[in-house]
Structure 1
Amino acid sequence: MAEDNDSPEKNKQLDDRLNYLESVARDTVARLYEIEKRLGLVFGAVPRELKTATRDERADQLSRLRAAEEALKSTAPEKQAAQKEQHTTESRQPRETSGRSEQAPPLRPARVPDQPGHIETPAAPVQPITAFPPTPAEHSKAGTTPTAVFSEPHVAKAPPTALHPVTPASRAEQMRQPQTLRPHEASQERPDLESRIGGRWLLWIGVIAISFGMAFFLKYAFDNQWITPGWRINIGVAIGLAFLICAERLRGRYPIYSNGLSGGGIFILYLSIFVGFNTYALIPQLLAFVLMAAVTATASLLAARYSALPIAILGLIGGFLTPILLSTGVDNEVGLFGYIALLDLGVLALAYSKHWRSLNYMAFVATVAMFAAWMISWYRPEKLWTTITFMTVFFMIFALLAVFHNVIKRRPTLWIDLAMVFSNALLYFSLSYELLDDNHHGILGLFAVLVSGFYMLLGYFAYNRDREDSLLIYTFLGLAFLFAVLAVPIQLDQHWVTMGWALEGAAMTWIGLRSGDRTSRYGALVVFGVAVAHWFRVDVQEFAYHANEVFLPLLNRRAISCAVLVGALAASVMFYKRMKSNVGEEERSMFSGLYLLGANTLAVILLSIDANDYFEQAKVASSATDHVMSVGN
């Protein structure tokens, strides 16, 4: 009976303890849930009933706890051991109270949002909590207030993984490593000859064939008077515009074919406007000029928009042919050169934005050709200063071109860039000398100094902006030295052409050795050949001894130009000797021997012809004296 009486009391005590543990667990989980919510972590499977207990609930829990403690004090020690064993057994089984599970749902590990460079690794297994909170009786024995004590869960370490986080540094290191193309990728990057012929060459051949076919058809129709002249021009313009519209519509799917259609449309528009002006006189000159300029601008815009170099070349050709095709036989220097200057600026701006160097060279050649053709046909002395002004404008445009393309953009200088720099400088100075020599010879020395100072400034700017481009820097400085040296013989009325070629050869040799550029060194050999040929063909003949002239051996204009040429060859030999580490032994021995042989040969030839002219002068003087004496007798 005693056991029956103890059974309800024991159950009540166990129920109180379980309620107490449940309240502690619920409070702890609720606090953890609030913490995770504030940290922004994802928390899954949280019962909706988890919340912090109110004040009344806490008071009720405390009263029940005290009642349980009083009951436990009167319980025998052996009963306490049995209760502990029974409590342990029951706590491991799920027990429902008020329609819900006593066992709290397992907490899922929070998932950290994906971050760049983060590689998720498998989560380590978490061991279950084995410690159990102390009983209220144990708290009372220890003299402490009951608190929930949880042991830290034991987290097993995850096995080491071979994956490493991808950091920006490692990603940059991977980007710096050379990428190897697979065979099929290499074939896509470099189309073979067959694809170029079928995809590009035949396309342009077809466009040209269609254009010529249209021209012959229209000519046949015109010859048979099928179409009036006005409608002929309208049909040509309509066909050209149709080509451009079709090219625009096909641009997305067939870019190569659309470029061909655009080029054909531009060509047909040029042809239609020219025929309307020149053949039928239906379009006035000013209107035709404006229309052709508009077609050129359209070609430039299409080339810039679609990165189509062939269209840009077609626009360049059409732009320079426009003044020739629309010429009426009347000179208009300001209008012609103003148009060419604007055309050069537009073409060079397009080449600068698209990195098309070929447009620079073609624009330079076309400008020189147009200027030379005008000089031959229309130049008169009264147009001197207008001509010098436009020459200076063109010279500045192409001189600064190397600065914009090579210095500011930091592109490596090629041999063709140097060729254009040298050609621009020499053509400008030579033509200016020829124009100013007759009536303004006294300012030519100052003019050479000004050109030298201009190239000195370019060299200084290139040195401060891009010191790695030593080839261009030495070229600018070499030209500055060349014109500074030429200022002296020009001002002293010496024959400077041979001297100029000789000094340029020495400067190119020095530039080629300092910068390690073989093209400049081989170019210097060609320049020396031109200087030697000019000395034999011009200086030897023009400055030889003539009757009724005083001839001084080694102090005449022929000897001075030859001395400069010999000195330039000797200086080149010295450059090869001092900078022999910058060139191969074979080239050094060959060029040094050739220059040394040329210098000695020229010196011997000069001494021979000067001695011959001196004795010829003495012979003439002796003959004249004998003649005077015979007449006197």
Structure 2
Amino acid sequence: MDGWAAATGGGAGAAACAVAAQWCRACGCASASTRGRAGRAWERPGEASAVGTGPGSIADGDLPGYRTSDAARQAVGWQAPGADHDAVGVSASAVPPPLPAQAPAEAMAHSAIAGSERPSPQAQATRAEPAQPQSAQSQPPQPPAAPSAIARAASALKRWFTQGNVPVKVGMLVLLAGVASLLKYASDQGWMRMPIELRLAGISVLALAGLIFGWKQRAQRPGFALALQGGAIGGLLLTVFAAFKLYGLLDAGTALGISMVLIAGMCVLAVLQDSRTLAVLGVLAGFLAPIWLSTGSGNHVALFSYYAVLNAGIVAIAWTRPWRVLNLLGFAFTFGIGTVWGALQYSPAKFATTEPFLLLFFAMYVAIPVLHARRGDGSAGRLIDGSLLFGTPLVAFALQARLLEGDRLPLALCAVAVAALYAGLGSWLLRRASTRVLGQAHAMLAVGFATLAVPLALSARATASVFALEGVGLLWLGLGQQRRVSQVSGVALQVFAAVGVAFGVDAWRYDAVAVANATCMSTVLLALAGWASAWFLRDAGHRRRALLAYLWGLG
């Protein structure tokens, strides 16, 4: 073995030894290796003893990844050689199994040599990336120039005349030219002169045909179908307008009735096809129809009756579709045109024929937000329409003041009635979690109109007294619900009430009655309000504030 170890030098010897070490490890055994002198056993890792003394000797630490453990020695029964062995002999138990053939060793040697000659990754990347010309990097290739519009038109015309069924195309052109010439000749000869009734009837027939065709195309091409239906109904409305306004073929009642039928049909088509745009077009045409069909007679009953029918349709649509723009459009046109009419043509003699329509329109637009909230999915905050919720009572109450000509007591009664209506709606809506926010808004409106009714019905000092009592109520409500805004509002109302009473007292005039007079009763109510506030504050644990409220009542 010493001769073999000396003979294997260089890379091939090292590779052969590595193969032998790996083979021994795979077999699970520990074998004795070459020894430089007789009886020299393998040393433990770290001792780095030399195997031989010659130039080709290999140290134990030079065999990469190979160490013989004690457990492996015990597993195969390896025994250290004794002192009585021969110097060049080897123990029988330490004889390793035969080494593998030389071919694997040579293959490993060649692979080691090839690995040493393998180029670095940088060199491989350099070789893999061929050098690109400098001109290609600095000047990217330019796309081909697009043909001009004239060239494209000429090419398309050439393809149309040279590709496909050329005789049919040429024949169609000749036919169109012939039909145009025939129509011109017929017009010159007077053959096309028909009564206006027939011409309007022809337009109506074409519009109806377009409407039917658009309805049949609603599934295949919904956008085209809706546009065609809207255009057809618009054409029919214009035909009715021309027959009434321009040619006098229809009277006002008939024209308005036909327009109502067409508008109702458009709204039905919009709901069936879930088209908000078609519904908006129908409602817009409905509100504009009385304007372009007006004769100037000033019949407000017919106008408001027509608007009542139209608003009933809007309420019916609101029951099934939450289209906010439709509701706002109806609200704006109804109260806008009503305001213009009231400012220009209203007189007290028309109160009996105007008040019912105002109440009807008010009820309709109060109901629409409630309908939307009842149909909602629980997101009540999103379903509240503030424009209708707060705009309807304010605009309607302003119009009511115009109808009553500033009469304070009837207007105060109207405010009380509105407050009662909103209080009832608020208590009903607060029972459901999905409409609780809307119910709170109705409760706020009820409080506001009840507050507004006081100065309309009473004098300044009486109004201040009522405001003081209302401040006590707000303070009690805020303490019970832990709302600072309500508490501050209640205290502020009492302060403003005291200021109002102070400015309303005439220092140079004395009342004839000692106690039962307006000044004394107002101050007594202010004192009672302060003491009641002190009582509520003490029960809530605010003793310092209660003391201030008690002193306020005494003052």
TM-score (norm 2): 0.47
Indicate the structure (1 or 2) with the bigger Cα radius of gyration.
2
Q: TM-score, normalised by structure 1?
A: 0.42
